[in-house]
Structure 1
Amino acid sequence: MVSPKTFGSMWIKCLQAHVYLRLLKGQTIDDIPEGVLEDCAQLVKANSIQGNKVNNVDIVYTPWQNLKKTASMDVGQVGFYNQKMVRTVRVEKRINEIVNRLNRTKVERTPDLKAEREAVNAAERAVKKQHLREKKRKEELERLEKEKQAELRSYKNLMVAEKMTSNKYIASTKKSLQELEEDFM
């Protein structure tokens, strides 16, 4: 399942080239395979205005939640909320084989972001409902076990009227005191 919440964003500062990489749910920017990172960095370099002309370019990438944009910033310029979440990779020179391979396999589409978001939300709700059902079932089993244990420890079963005898009943059996004591033992 792919979650739109978990994007990694990569770009070159001031060169205005951006690549957005959608990660799998639970994946972090530290989990990005080296080959994918190289492909993204090559795309950024190839599609930037100035980065395509120079060598040894640093590509900066971070999760999209860490991007900070204020009204005073130029177009394409961004900042960061947390500098510790920023990673850098250096691109020595453009590798045309990678860029050409990526351009040949490029698929442009206009995603229905609302539908994707709704699908992700529905999947998350389904998982939450399943967890709630499992939790309720587990709590019910625990409650039943607790009741069973409480019943075993209670004196309720010891004081049953059918098992009790009264002094009147004993007197009516016409047994002697010695016989009653022997029955008791």
Structure 2
Amino acid sequence: MVFYFKSEGYVIYVGIDKYENEELIKYGFPEDIWFHVDKHSSAHVYLRLPKGENIHAIPATVLEDCAQLVKANSITGNKINNINVVYTPWSNLKKTGDMDVGQVGFHKQREVLSVKVEKRSNEIVNRLNKTKEERMPDLQAEREERDRVEREAAKKVTREKKEKEKEEARQREKDAEIRNYSSLMTASNMRSNAEVHSDDSDDFM
């Protein structure tokens, strides 16, 4: 079971337990941003960014929504004030065989950002809960479909690039032909009818 929320047009999703978190870790999208309460257990919250956006462009209100959702879904973090919520791109999550179920590390610590949450905002949590949807998605199939679309888009770009290169090559050849023709039509290479007749007379005599 995965819970989905909406925040200003963005999709936020949360696994129901640590076993679901394992699937989310495994089949997340490169566009996903992972959130977790720092130094306390909590749900794994993901924000799915539109293509072209990055972690530094997350709107402040959306960032706050994610942080509040993480806090509200942490047994310890929900009870105390002034907690830190860490977040990082999904691609920075590191999973090794010796880790417990649902546990993750990071490939690069410098890519882990943090936001402070002073206290729980019931207003924000209640607003998000009104958008809540429960689904049982096939996470693997969704990731495979995402990758398929990505590959097709990349192939299209490659095809268009090759066609553009061919067209530019054809245009260069055409321009070269025009330049060669123009060089043959210079005044020094041109002869008048009078010159032609004069040459013919001299030959005759």
Q: TM-score, normalised by structure 1?
A: 0.73
Per the TM alignment, residue 142 of structure 1 is displaced from its structure 2 partner at its CA by 2.1
Residue equivalent to 1:27: 53
Deviations 1:35-77 (A, max 9, x none): 1111111111111121111111111111111112334444544
Per the TM alignment, residue 22 of structure 1 is displaced from its structure 2 partner at its CA by 1.0
Instruction: Answer yes or no: is 1:8 the counterpart of 2:33.
Output: yes
Aligned residue pairs, count: 164
Check the 8 A contact 1:16/1:76 in 2, yes or no: no
Segments of structure 2 that go 5 or more residues without pairing to the other structure are 1-10, 12-27, 185-198
Q: Quote the Cα distance in structure 2 between the aligned partners of 1:51 and 1:90.
A: 12
Per the TM alignment, residue 98 of structure 1 is displaced from its structure 2 partner at its CA by 1.4
Check the 8 A contact 2:34/2:46 in 1, yes or no: yes
Change (3 A) 1:42 1:140: same
Residue equivalent to 2:84: 58
Deviations 1:107-149 (A, max 9, x none): 0112233443343234323322332332232222222223224
Instruction: Answer yes or no: is 1:141 the counterpart of 2:167.
Output: yes
Q: Which amino acid aligns with 2:156?
A: Q
Higher-Rg structure is 1
Q: Quote the Cα distance in structure 1 between the aligned partners of 2:105 and 2:141.
A: 30
Q: Which amino acid aligns with 2:107?
A: Y
Q: Which amino acid aligns with 2:30?
A: K
Q: Quote the Cα distance in structure 2 between the aligned partners of 1:103 and 1:79.
A: 29
Check the 8 A contact 1:14/1:76 in 2, yes or no: no
What RMSD over aligned residues (CA atoms) do the two structures have, in Å?
Answer: 3.0
| SS, match of residue 60 in structure 1 | strand
Q: Quote the Cα distance in structure 2 between the aligned partners of 1:153 and 1:50.
A: 78
Q: Quote the Cα distance in structure 2 between the aligned partners of 1:73 and 1:53.
A: 27
Per the TM alignment, residue 153 of structure 1 is displaced from its structure 2 partner at its CA by 5.1
Q: Which amino acid aligns with 1:106?
A: K
Segments of structure 1 that go 5 or more residues without pairing to the other structure are 159-172, 181-185
Instruction: Answer yes or no: is 1:69 the counterpart of 2:95.
Output: yes
Check the 8 A contact 1:67/1:81 in 2, yes or no: yes
Deviations 1:74-125 (A, max 9, x none): 4544322111111111111111121122222210112233443343234323
Higher relative contact order (CA 8 A, sep 6+): 2
Change (3 A) 1:72 1:115: closer
Q: TM-score, normalised by structure 2?
A: 0.67
